[in-house]
Amino acid sequence: MKLTKRFIKYAALILIISLALSIFPSLAADNTEIGSLKINGAMGNMRDGSFNTYTTVTAPLTLTADEKIDSVYIIFRISAVSFTVSSSAGSLRFEEGYLQYHADLGDIASDTLTVTFEGSVGISDIYAFGEGELPEFVHTWEKPHEKA
């Protein structure tokens, strides 16, 4: 009986801490997300933070913000496709590979970008980031070295 009460107390404490971190994620990371991001003038489901909702994209997306976008983070729904990001400074092509893709824009960073996907694709979410440290939820995947 005594052991059961102790277990319940620890389980409740873990639950409270987990809920606090999910409700207040800014406490856990230095968030550089650009909040003024607009996607073709309509946000749709691409900014709701849910993997369960998505928007099917068949045409290029225009991303605009009040500040320079240094990187974009795209969460594909089921399968990733290659895409190109363009600005007035040039363009970069990113090869398919990961469902959660962080694209560092380097010299083409701008407050207005065009993202062109190869074919129709389901997008769960798109985030834009300025300079600084990325939030913890961003995965920066890299291909493994050929000889490890």
What percentage of the chain reaches a pLDDT higher than 90?
A: 39
pLDDT of residue 51: 74
pLDDT of residue 109: 96
Residue 108, pLDDT above cutoff 90: yes
How confident is the model over 41-69, as pLDDT tens digits? 445 677 777 778 888 888 899 999 999 99
Residue 146, pLDDT above cutoff 80: no
Which of these ranges, 19-28, 86-95, 106-115, 124-133, has the smallest mean pLDDT?
19-28
pLDDT of residue 147: 66
pTM above 0.75, yes or no: no
pLDDT of residue 17: 58
Report which residue type is found at 37. L
Residue 129, pLDDT above cutoff 90: yes
How confident is the model over 15-47, as pLDDT tens digits? 555 544 444 444 334 446 777 788 874 456 777
pLDDT of residue 113: 96
